[in-house]
Chain A
Amino acid sequence: MQTSISGHLFRRIAHVLVITVFTVALAFPFYWMLITSFKQNVDLYTMANNPFIFNAKPTLDHLTFLFTQTRFVRWLANTTFVGVVVVSITLVFALPAAYSLARLSGRWGERVGIGIFLTYLVPPTLLFIPLSRVIAYLGLQDSLWALILVYPSFTVPFSIWLLMGFFKAIPRELEDAAMVDGLTRFGAFAKMVIPISTSGILTVVIFTFTLVTQEFVYALTFLSSEANQMIGTGIPIFLVRGDVYYWGALMAACLIATLPIAFLYNLFLDRFIAGFTVGAVK
């Protein structure tokens, strides 16, 4: 009996230890962004100071600098704009495609579905060189429209894949009944299927938006002027002047850009996972 009590205690200690170590290792950089954002430069750049505490009074200078002296707000606006347009395009393409794939019975539907999933695995780093010429040919260099054109090429496949799961769970009888009542197939889709799939659609909206904010390679390749950057490129590249890093403002910008996405992502976590597990979990 005694061994099982000490064993129990040991497991509790191990549990607390594992959780603590991982939380610190994974979240520490963000804690560091937070503390750096509010430290005065004298404090940040004096090596004798203990970096874990405020050796001088906390300051809002970095935030003021970020919002008044840099293009940070513009980058947030650019990212939101591209995000909203790409989400709309993604829904227009992915909703009907996912619906027809969910209803296409037999081998063909399955094959096309798998093919679409596989295109999600084609990385930007394979396509950015030829695409840069396509963008130049279309006259879209240094334009946000270049990103709006290209981003759906990876948001649409993953969204189709996610939505297929939702549509398959909707009983076919529902649409059949609607069609008996005189609706066309498209009418049944628009008036019956879409309204009851709102949570699936919301998932796709959030997921597409996070993909847009996280993308780096295309934004780096297609955009050049400071005013046209997305947050992912503007912050790490244009908040550095020559060799001078404005660490306080830089870290504040990272944190401000990350937190809203993190909140949204957490709300829909389980559904994103369903999209990644390719049916290996039921």
Chain B
Amino acid sequence: MLAPAVLYILLLVAGPFLLAIFYAFSDARIGNTRLHFVGLENFRSILQSPSFRIAVRNSFIFTIGSQIVVIVASSILAIALEKPFRGRGVLRFLMLLPWVAPIALGAIGWKWLLDSIYSVISWVLVALHVYKPFGAPMWLGEPHLAITSVLLVHSWRLIPFSTVILLAGRTAIPKDIPEAAAVDGAGFWRTEFLILLPMMMPIISVAVLFGIIFTFTDMTVVYILTAGGPFDSTQVLPSLAFTLGIQGSDLAAGAAISLFLVPLLVIIAYLMLRVAHRAEVT
């Protein structure tokens, strides 16, 4: 009863994956029916392209930067949401929206908030006299601001996800542990950092590992917000693969670029198994 599912997954995951490797060593293009083996040629030209280097750099900036924001924010939020209070259900619903909304739609919402002319953020900053009227920057039009915007939109989307996972971890800790700490005279910070934080480590790592995968392999936020621009400055590996491989018809280059996702995915998978294994042993 297991075979059909395994077969389906093998055909549609392992199959295309092998095909991606095959393409990466060929001269495959859309419309080109005969393939030739070209060795490492694709990788050589990719490694020389400036767009690729920017994409690698951005992929890491977005992934690492957003994970830092997400973990700090969701740790604080999880503490604040742990004890029941009136209206918690409604607030939980509202706070979960960024995670639940289709990512493309959340991103298009941000595109409107960051609009070059009608941005409400610019309006507020002008009203506060931070900028002169019409003097607010184009949030998605200048490389540094565009990179920051993409990073923050990724964080915005992942904070709810990470928070609910951390909340699940906190509620699983037996109540008598923080109580005993309080009896022994440990204050809030001491209890949080010296007692609860070490106990939370496995669950925090689960949240971070998933967060890394969701950010590192995502192209939707970049595609919707900036389409990689201005001047490829916000391009990431998946969006560059799409731009070259699908829009530019160069399947071989696209496949080769997407293969650069694999090393990090393997590391994450390994770490995930270690967390799961440890949880089973203890």
Contacts known (A278-B276, A281-B172); A23 close to B95, Cβ less than 8 A: yes
Q: Is the CB of B9 within 8 A of A116?
A: yes
Residues of A contacting B107 in the complex (Cβ-Cβ under 8 angstroms): 236
Q: Is the CB of A127 within 8 A of B96?
A: no
Measured CB to CB, the nearest residue on chain B to A215 is B102
Contacts known (A18-B77, A262-B96); A129 close to B108, Cβ less than 8 A: no
Q: Is the CB of B172 within 8 A of A18?
A: no
Q: Is the CB of B118 within 8 A of A47?
A: yes
Which of A25, A51, A128, A213 has most B Cβ within 10 Å? A128
Which of A19, A52, A156, A281 has most B Cβ within 10 Å? A281
Is the CB of B61 closer than 8 A to any CB of chain A?
Answer: no
Q: Is the CB of B9 within 8 A of A217?
A: no
For chain B residues 42-72, which have a beta carbon within 8 Å of chain A?
none
Measured CB to CB, the nearest residue on chain B to A93 is B5
Contacts known (A47-B118, A126-B17); A22 close to B73, Cβ less than 8 A: yes
Contacts known (A127-B16, A258-B100, A258-B102); A96 close to B2, Cβ less than 8 A: yes
How far in angstroms is the closest Cβ of chain A from B272?
7
C-alpha gap A253/B165 in the complex (Å):
29
C-alpha gap A36/B110 in the complex (Å):
13
Is the CB of B245 closer than 8 A to any CB of chain A?
Answer: yes
* Number of A residues with CB within 8 Å of any CB on chain B: 91
1/0 per residue, CB under 8 A from B, across A6-48: the answer is: 0000010001001100110111111011001000000011010
Measured CB to CB, the nearest residue on chain A to B94 is A27
Q: Is the CB of B262 within 8 A of A126?
A: yes
Is the CB of B139 closer than 8 A to any CB of chain A?
Answer: no
Selected interface stretch from B140-148, B190-198, B202-210 = B202-210
Main secondary structure of the interface of A (DSSP, over half): helix
Residues of A contacting B220 in the complex (Cβ-Cβ under 8 angstroms): 216-217
Q: Is the CB of A101 within 8 A of B109?
A: no
Residues of B contacting A273 in the complex (Cβ-Cβ under 8 angstroms): 164-165, 168
Measured CB to CB, the nearest residue on chain B to A261 is B100
Contacts known (A156-B5, A279-B276); A128 close to B242, Cβ less than 8 A: yes
Q: Is the CB of B101 within 8 A of A221?
A: no
Which of B101, B188, B220, B261 has most A Cβ within 10 Å? B101
C-alpha gap A221/B254 in the complex (Å):
13
How far in angstroms is the closest Cβ of chain A from B216?
8
Q: Which of B95, B164, B202 contacts A26 (CB 8 A)?
A: B95
Is the CB of B180 closer than 8 A to any CB of chain A?
Answer: no
Q: Is the CB of A216 within 8 A of B20?
A: no
How far in angstroms is the closest Cβ of chain B from A193?
12
Q: Is the CB of A153 within 8 A of B273?
A: no
Which of A50, A114, A253 has most B Cβ within 10 Å? A114
Contacts known (A23-B94, A119-B9, A280-B202); A236 close to B104, Cβ less than 8 A: yes
Q: Which of A124, A129, A274 contacts B23 (CB 8 A)?
A: A129
Q: Is the CB of A94 within 8 A of B5?
A: yes
1/0 per residue, CB under 8 A from A, across B214-227: the answer is: 00011110011000
Which of A93, A274, A282 has most B Cβ within 10 Å? A93
C-alpha gap A25/B163 in the complex (Å):
14
Is the CB of A132 closer than 8 A to any CB of chain B?
Answer: yes
Is the CB of A265 closer than 8 A to any CB of chain B?
Answer: yes
Is the CB of B132 closer than 8 A to any CB of chain A?
Answer: no
How far in angstroms is the closest Cβ of chain B from A117?
8
C-alpha gap A40/B206 in the complex (Å):
46
Q: Is the CB of B165 within 8 A of A250?
A: no
Q: Is the CB of A100 within 8 A of B95?
A: no
Q: What are 13 sample pairs from A and B whose C-beta atoms fall under 8 A apart?
A: A19-B80, A29-B109, A121-B213, A125-B218, A127-B20, A156-B5, A217-B220, A262-B97, A270-B168, A273-B164, A276-B165, A279-B276, A280-B205
Sample of 6 more A-B contacts, CB < 8 Å, known A130-B22, A277-B206: A118-B269, A216-B104, A232-B105, A250-B112, A279-B276, A280-B202
